[in-house]
Structure 1
């Protein structure tokens, strides 16, 4: 019986010593772990620049978090770069340049009791920081806005300092940088009579293919039931704000060709065979339809 009791005592002591050792290891790891900081994306309020409007804005709401409840925040640097993604002349891409610095005092206390800020910058401000003029960019190009969180202990964190889980995780959502695409919103089209010139290479009509033309939400469909060619007109009322033209597929799209001439005399598209299906066919960056 005494022997059994001794064995039991030894086992209990070994367990206690083992727990103590593990606890010491955990304490050592915790004491020697350097914790960082994140800028969490609360909302991307506006993600694009209107290429025709230098006042159009990129806007994002950010929340700062560290292991001190946000107390380590010193400032946030904002830098911007430009990616020329169109083949319409020289490459106007620009490396990063400073855009602004946001002091910690500009942040307010958010619903999670952490510093929060909504940051806005305009196309004009971003272009000026990089020495760009409106002639240097066009629809399809891209600005990249990057944030650098500076801490009171001298450390800084940005997109190069985090792993994939932090950058894109559903909770942290901390990419530190955002692509801001340049887009061309629709402009009011030229009013009056527009013309569609339809061609079928086999000569038996479009076999179910249709042009879907929508003016301020009012949709019309145009097709060629038979034959090799057809000319049709449609009216764009005065004061119309948005025109959209898409192609709906038929059985033999490899036979389909068409041109559309605006009321101002400009041929705004010459497409086919194999017209793109279900996408906007008007190039809103080219204002020849106005």
Structure 2
């Protein structure tokens, strides 16, 4: 199981957070305190393939030991993942996209800096000198954020813990966001009551809380093409992009927010993606990683485990 390098929870700490709590006061490290970018609102998580002015937009609250007093700027990094390489693989490694200064953040209701981070689709295309016509629904951009403090320290994905990354817990600071390129589908598609079963050779650990089969209701999510179901403790969320199904990264499998050592997360498989027939929503498959990126929780998943779920409409 991964261990947080800078940001970890005290193993004996138990607390109940409200919106007015200064959450950073509960984030501890043996020597120094860290910083987080708390997700206040995911306004628009994906790019619309046919609209280069569509944007990824999220509202964030910066928290540090000095309640924003040592916040300098946020650096954005971007990567392109060509998930439809039939016309040639155009995938591109991570680049530095831009910096957002602390002056773009305003004091929010908690007395902490709050700002809107936005990446326009056209901006992402130009950053990699891509041909917009070659990008297909199902392709992805990956945005990573790095906090820079005035004392020279930086914090990003390598500095967190399971209970910091997931939106299921108070901190909601994944530092990393997957931006799917989508074509909008009708809101009623892939919703309703479904029977699910785990197919293939992989059987989840009994401690995972995921049964081999069952009945779930799939509902629309907060934005286009997003669907939700109660399959895991947080409520499994996935996005339909082209003919592929992408589970949201860093979702909580067991909601052990108070103790990162036992907190397990889920996410997408980087090699296999469930396929969907956009003309028929009666059956589809989804690949889900338990113990995503090593966040398996003590005794649950020594290594990440991928399970394939088949959903059949009732």
What pairs with 1:106-121 in structure 2 (closer than 5 Å)? 106-121=104-119
| 1:277 positional shift | 5.9
Q: Residue 161 of structure 1 aligns with which residue?
A: 159
Which residue of the other structure, out of 134, 143, 146, is the alignment partner of 1:145?
Answer: 143
Q: Retained in 2: the 8 A contact 1:82–1:142?
A: yes
**1 or 2, which has the higher helix percentage?**
1
Which residue of the other structure, out of 92, 95, 111, is the alignment partner of 1:94?
Answer: 92
- RMSD over aligned Cα atoms: 2.5
Which blocks of at least 5 consecutive residues in structure 1 are unaligned?
1-29, 188-243, 250-275, 279-290
Which blocks of at least 5 consecutive residues in structure 2 are unaligned?
1-27, 187-277, 284-310
In structure 1, C-alpha distance between the alignment counterparts of 2:312 and 2:279, rounded to whole Å: 11
Q: Residue 256 of structure 1 aligns with which residue?
A: none
In structure 1, C-alpha distance between the alignment counterparts of 2:279 and 2:30, rounded to whole Å: 62
What pairs with 1:1-290 in structure 2 (closer than 5 Å)? 33-168=31-166, 170-185=169-184, 245-246=279-280
Q: Residue 201 of structure 2 aligns with which residue?
A: none
Q: Retained in 2: the 8 A contact 1:78–1:147?
A: yes
1:69 aligns to what SS in structure 2? coil
Change (3 A) 1:89 1:105: same
Aligned residues: 168
| 1:245 positional shift | 4.6
In structure 2, C-alpha distance between the alignment counterparts of 1:62 and 1:74, rounded to whole Å: 15
TM-score by length of 2: 0.50
In structure 2, C-alpha distance between the alignment counterparts of 1:141 and 1:118, rounded to whole Å: 24
| 1:31 positional shift | 11
In structure 2, C-alpha distance between the alignment counterparts of 1:31 and 1:79, rounded to whole Å: 26
Change (3 A) 1:131 1:170: same
| 1:32 positional shift | 6.5
Q: What whole-Å deviation, never above 9, does each CA across 1:195-229 have from its counterpart, x for those lacking one?
A: xxxxxxxxxxxxxxxxxxxxxxxxxxxxxxxxxxx
